[in-house]
Amino acid sequence: MDCKHSMATIPAVPTTLRSSLQQDGYVLLPSILSPSDLATLRSAAEHATSLARTGSWPFIRTLPKQFPPWTSTHEDGIWGVQHLLHPSLPHNQVFAKYYFNPTIITSVCEILSCEPTDLVLELYNLLVRPDADFALRWHRDDIAPDVADAEEERRLKEPIVHAQWNLALYDDASLIVVPGSHARARTQAERDADPYEDDMPGQKVVSMKAGDAVFYNNNILHRGVYSSKTDRMTLHGSMGVVGADPARARNVLQHGVGDWIDRCDFSGLKGEVGGQQLSRTAETMKTHLIAIGSSKHVGFSQSED
């Protein structure tokens, strides 16, 4: 049964979602959160951010490091809060409610052409205003910048095995992409470009209003530019599909989610998706993550300059 036809009782997802993502490498869903949802999430996110900035939450993205592994040392400031579903984080059940939001799950199923029972719980983090201006280099999340054209093309032709999104709690124009670059190797101009300059041919700033979500292929050529003067709280999540290859497991497990996911309890989630209780779907997704492994020694997808 096609996923989108089995979910007619929940908010509709555009039928062009998968095709738009395949064509452009990203797609924007406007206003998927109500004002009350935004208020609830902002309160939870502000608390989590405060804990992270004061050293009371050790799972953080620290300046000036772009890619994992990060340490719990925060003297230079932070730009993200890791592991929003961790059972020890206050408000983890609030974050869980919106990670397992039926609109999100429906969207992921449309992108992956699957059923909710095929999904794997992956990552859920919070991207926040950095303590100092900070930018990521142009990159693809799971393809290193030094690979040859042939290898890059081979990797980009692999089937889509996960969906990734940003959900903005405040207006956010931090993400910059090169539309269509997820489907081809880099041009010579892209290889030669300054990795920290915003002059990449064809680049587009993805402007989000509070409550908007953008789904994007994590191997689209993209970067983030973060201002220390602009409020930012953006939920950054991903879900996979069962049967993905080891490279995807590495991309997920390198963050350390396997260390604690077995202690999560999603039995209190209300509602349903795809004709099944949402709590049961969430527990199934957790079980699928546990099945792919828990090792921290899986390697890392990127290295620092």
Cα angle 197, 77, 37; round to 5: 90
Superfamily of domain 3-292: q2cbj1_9rhob like domain (2.60.120.620)
- From first to last of its 305 residues, what are the pLDDT tens digits of the chain? 333 333 333 344 445 788 999 999 999 999 999 999 999 999 999 999 999 999 999 999 999 998 888 888 888 999 999 999 999 999 999 999 999 999 999 999 999 999 999 999 999 999 999 999 999 999 998 898 999 999 999 999 988 889 999 999 999 999 999 999 999 999 999 999 999 998 899 999 999 999 999 999 999 999 999 999 999 999 999 999 998 777 788 778 888 898 999 999 999 999 999 889 999 999 999 999 998 875 444 444 445 55
Q: What is the pLDDT of residue 167?
A: 98
On whether the CB atoms of residues 135 and 223 are closer than 8 A, the answer is yes
CA end-to-end span of the chain: 46
The span from the CA of 296 to the CA of 255, in Å, is 8
Q: What is the pLDDT of residue 38?
A: 97
Angle, nearest 10°, between helix axes 17-24 and 102-112?
60
Can you give the residue ranges of every domain in the chain?
Answer: 3-292
- The neighbour count for residue 257, using CB atoms within 10 Å, is 22
Query: Which residues make Cβ contacts (< 8 Å) with residue 245, sequence separation at least 6?
Result: 158, 161
The span from the CA of 177 to the CA of 159, in Å, is 21
State the DSSP string of 213-262. Answer: EEEE-TTSSEEEEE-TTS--EEEEEEEEETT--HHHHHHHHTTTGGGTGG
Burial of 188 (0-12, 13-18, 19+ CB in 10 A): exposed
Q: How many CA atoms lie within 13 A of 202 on its CB side?
A: 12
